[in-house]
Amino acid sequence: MRILVTGAYGQLGQDVVKLLAAKHEVHGLGREQLDITNENQCFEVLSTLKPDVIIHSAAYTAVDLAETEEDLAYKINAFGTRNLAVAAEKIGAKLCYISTDYVFDGTAVTPYREYDNTNPQSVYGKSKRAGEQLVQTLSSNYFIVRTSWVYGLHGANFVKTMLKLAQDRDTIKVVSDQIGSPTYTVDIALFLEQLIQTERYGIYHASNAGVCSWFDFARAIFEESGTTIKLEPCSTEEFPLPAPRPRFSAMEHLAIRANGFEDLRPWREGLRAFLKELSEGAK
C-alpha cells in the first residue's frame, strides 16, 4: 500500500512511519512538507503522491493553550482535517483520522462505546470532535480512531516526565481521580496497520486494554522501571489547569472486537515494552 502520514514528526507519527515502512510505501510528511490548513496544497500533495490511504495524525494538541488559541485549534484540527478529507475524496483515498478521548465529558461510570454521545468540555476536545464530524460528512471511506494517554519514544509524555521527576525529587504527587487507558504508540501503530488494509470503515476506540488512574499509571512506571520514590495521590482540584480534563475517559473496544481485529495488549504490558525500548535507546 502507498500510505501518507501527516504529523510524521510527532510522537505517534514517527512510530507509524517507522513500523509501516517495513511493509508499505510510506510518505511521512511534517508541516514543512504539508500545511494541512492550506486547501490547495493538500490537493496538490495528495494528487502527486496518490496514496491509497492517509493516516492523519497531525493535530493541534496543546490542550491548555487551546483555551486561549481557539481559532488556531479549530484551524488545524477541524478545517485542516476538512481540507484533507476533501482532497482524499477527490483522489479516492481512504482517510484514517486520529482522534481523542477528550471528545467525551468524562461523566460516565462505564467505558465509552464508539457511538455513545460525545460532549467535549475543552476547546481541544471540541475542535477534535469538529474534525470527526467533518470527516463523517465529507468522506465516504473513513476510519476515526480515538485513542488516549499516548506515550512513546519520541516527544514529551507522562512516562518520561515521571522518570525525569524521580531523578530530582523524593516525593511526587499524582492525580488519582482521573481514570483512563494509557496507550503505547507502537501498539496503536500496529492496530492502524491492521485497520487500513480493510474496508471496515467507522469509528474505533483503540487504547491499550484495561483502565487505571494517573496515580496507578505512575506507580506502575516506577515499579516496572525499578525506581524507588514516595508517591502521593491528590485530587484534580489540587492541580488546577486551564482546560478541563475528562474524569473518566476509559473506552470500550466494541468496534475492534465486532470487526474481528486483534485488540491492543494490556496497558501494563505496553508500558513494560516501552521501558525496554527506552532503556535500549539510551545505551
In eight-state DSSP terms, residue 61 is: -
Q: How far apart are CA 67 and CA 60, in angstroms?
A: 12
Q: Quick check: 231 and 184 in contact, CB under 8 A?
A: no
Q: How many CA atoms lie within 13 A of 134 on its CB side?
A: 23
| 124 classed as catalytic | yes
203 - beta bridge partners? 144
Q: Which grid coordinates are listed for 139?
A: 468522506
Ramachandran category for residue 226: left, alpha or beta (phi over 0 → left; psi -120 to 50 → alpha): left
- Catalytic residue selected from 60, 97, 102, 124: 124
Q: Which grid coordinates are listed for 268?
A: 501494563
Q: Quick check: 263 and 193 in contact, CB under 8 A?
A: no
**Strands of 51-104, DSSP E:** 53-56, 94-100
In eight-state DSSP terms, residue 62 is: -
136 - beta bridge partners? none
Count other Cβ atoms within 10 Å, centred on residue 263: 14
Which residues are marked as active site? 124
